[in-house]
Amino acid sequence: MPVIAYIALGSNVGDREGNVRRAAALLAGAGKVTGLSSLYATEPVGNREQPGFINAVAAVETSLAPGELLAVCRSIEERLGRERTVRWGPRTIDLDILLYGARTVSTDELTIPHPRMAGRRFVLEPLAELAPGAVHPILRRTAVELLRDLKDPHAVVRLGAAGTTP
Q: What's the pLDDT band for 51 if we cut at 50, 70, 90?
A: confident
Going by C-alpha positions, the residue among 141, 69, 143, 134 that lies closest to residue 101 is 134
Of 22, 82, 120, 121, the catalytic one is 82
pTM to 2 decimal places: 0.92
Of 16, 21, 22, 91, the catalytic one is 91
Known catalytic membership, residue 96:
yes
Task: Please write the tens of the pLDDT for every residue from 101-126.
Answer: 999 999 999 999 999 999 999 999 99
Known catalytic membership, residue 15:
no
Q: What's the pLDDT band for 166 if we cut at 50, 70, 90?
A: very low
Ramachandran angles phi, psi of 70, nearest 5°? -60, -40
Query: Do 107 and 96 contact (CB within 8 A), yes or no?
Result: no
Known catalytic membership, residue 91:
yes
Mean pLDDT over 81-90 rounds to: 67
What structural domains does the chain harbor? 3-158 (3.30.70.560)
On the CB side of 144, CA atoms within 13 Å amount to: 5
Of 21, 22, 96, 120, the catalytic one is 96
Of 16, 94, 120, 121, the catalytic one is 94
Q: For position 45, what pLDDT does the model report?
A: 78
What percent of the chain is modeled with pLDDT above 70? 90
Examine residue 137 and say whether the peptide bond preceding it is cis (omega within 30 degrees of 0): no
